[in-house]
Amino acid sequence: MLRIIFSFVDKMISSLAPALVGFMLALISYREELPQLGESLTPTLFVMTLVFFLGIPFLGYLASITAMKCYVLDDKKMAEVQAGIAEMKKIDEK
């Protein structure tokens, strides 16, 4: 069951990436056609590229650091998590 959920979320996120790029291009006035290969780089296209290349991964890193910082994990909790995973594997194998 866990594999099915992971696969679904992975496919959903992968399908949203092109939609996000299309939305951002439409936002900076590329509504009729996409930027062409020989076209000069406009400042807005450059900023959008930097946002996708640097900004979005940075926000992901901040989210993961925040999640790790707020997650309390001691020996007791770790044993509890491992027991839960072992039980899921037993159920998944049946």
| Tokens found for residue 81 | 């998590």
Give yes or no: residues 30 and 51 share one domain.
no
Question: What is the model's pTM?
Answer: 0.59
Give yes or no: residues 59 and 79 share one domain.
yes
What span, in angstroms and rounded, lies between the C-alpha atoms of 52 and 57?
8
What is the distance between the terminal CA atoms of the chain, rounded to a whole angstrom?
A: 11
pLDDT at 58 over 90: yes
* Domain range enclosing 74: 41-94
Task: Give the total number of structural domains in the chain.
Answer: 2
Give yes or no: residues 19 and 49 share one domain.
no
pLDDT at 10 over 80: yes
pLDDT at 28 over 80: yes
Give yes or no: residues 55 and 79 share one domain.
yes
Predicted confidence (pLDDT) per residue in 69-82, tens digit = 988 888 999 999 99
Q: What is the pLDDT, as a whole number, of residue 94? A: 67
